[in-house]
A = this chain, B = another copy of it.
Amino acid sequence: MIIIMERDATAENIKAVTDLLNEHEFRVIVHEGDVHTVIDALGDKTTLSPNRIDAMDGVMKIKFIREPFRLASRDRKSDDTVIEFSNGVKVGGANRPVFMVGPCSVEEDYDGLLEVATAAKELGCQFLRGGAFKPRTSPYDFDGLGEKALKYLAQAREATGLLVVTELMDVEDLDLVCDYADVIQVGARNMQNFRLLKAVGKCNKPVVLKRGPASTIREFLLAAEHILYNGNEQVILCERGLKSFDNAFTRNLMDIAAVPVIKKLSHLPIIVDPSHGTGQRYLIEPMAKAGLVVGADGVMVEVHHNPATALSDGKQSLSIPQFREVFTKLNKMIDTLHLERSMAIPNVE
């Protein structure tokens, strides 16, 4: 790290900093500039936190050379992480993009869920998604069926062979959700619920980690780092739109560039969710395409057997016939561009 001292830092201030660095066996070089003294320090930041130096008298700011996420970084692991499921499905690397499809919330009508799952399976999708526990901005909204929903999802898996993705909202539900799900989702609002990250980091299931609506890419990868650090390397990142000053026509602002940026910084797979990312049915197809051409490893889409009666997110859900049409186009585009797929990996430095 590079420590920039205040204009008026005293010789004592500088000495206090270098003494502390030396004590922790950092390699230290001091440059006296015309205005600021700059201290270059190389050493093990797990033994001496930069925050501690930052708080010392006379320190103006600290600049970092390396990114703070280590396990998630391509610096540590240059090959793409590929997540494999028992039925042979693979996510990440050079594998064909996957589709995670289903209603926002699982509802009382099991037949509706099964209808969606059957259609998704027939088209060639790999995952059934659906919420059992729903985070709701208002306490007056429907917040999910809980275990009954998990049972429905498992039943639909039995019937179709799709893998099940569902959100975990609370550490205390971890065992329950693990009993039913193939992939645990950590929702955008919980991206910095560190207890939850720690808990899913200790279990042995793949995790879909959604980017928080106001999270930087660095914070996003640090959230993944929490999971990796606790022992679970099976993390699938998901870009789902950011909060912006313009929400007149879309619910969120999708950061499509985050896909190639993260591919460069990290080895983890990343998918896109244009349903939440835009909140508009008509934008799902174009934004799924945008995600796919920049290298996304999959797409998550909300599909409901009857969006007009959906208890949540109906506005951004596709009906089954609509999804069939969209999927067919996306699939054709994936086929057509197949040979060029590697071009999505940035090669112009």
The residue of chain B having its C-beta at the shortest distance from the C-beta of A42 within the complex is: B33
The size class of the interface chain A forms with chain B is 35 or more
**Would B295 and A286 count as touching, CB distance under 8 A?**
yes
Q: Which residue of B195, B243, B249, B340 contacts A329 across the interface (Cβ within 8 Å)?
A: B340
**Would A312 and B51 count as touching, CB distance under 8 A?**
yes
Number of copies: 4
Question: A115 within 8 Å of B by Cβ?
Answer: no
Against B, the Cβ 8 Å flags (1 = close, 0 = not) of A215-251 are 1111100100110011000000000001111111110
**Would B242 and A250 count as touching, CB distance under 8 A?**
no
Residues of A bordering B, CB below 8 Å: 2, 4, 6-7, 16, 29, 31, 33-36, 38, 40, 42, 45-46, 49, 51-52, 54-57, 63, 65-66, 68-69, 75, 135-143, 169-172, 189-190, 192-195, 212-219, 222, 225-226, 229-230, 242-250, 253-257, 259-261, 264-265, 277-278, 281-287, 289-291, 293-295, 307-315, 317-318, 322, 325-326, 329, 332-333, 336-337, 340, 343-344, 346-349
Q: What are 29 A-to-B residue pairs whose CB atoms are below 8 Å?
A: A2-B63, A6-B349, A36-B65, A51-B313, A52-B310, A55-B309, A56-B308, A68-B140, A169-B193, A169-B195, A171-B172, A193-B193, A214-B214, A214-B245, A216-B246, A242-B244, A244-B244, A249-B261, A253-B253, A256-B256, A257-B277, A260-B287, A285-B343, A286-B346, A287-B294, A289-B344, A290-B293, A325-B348, A337-B337
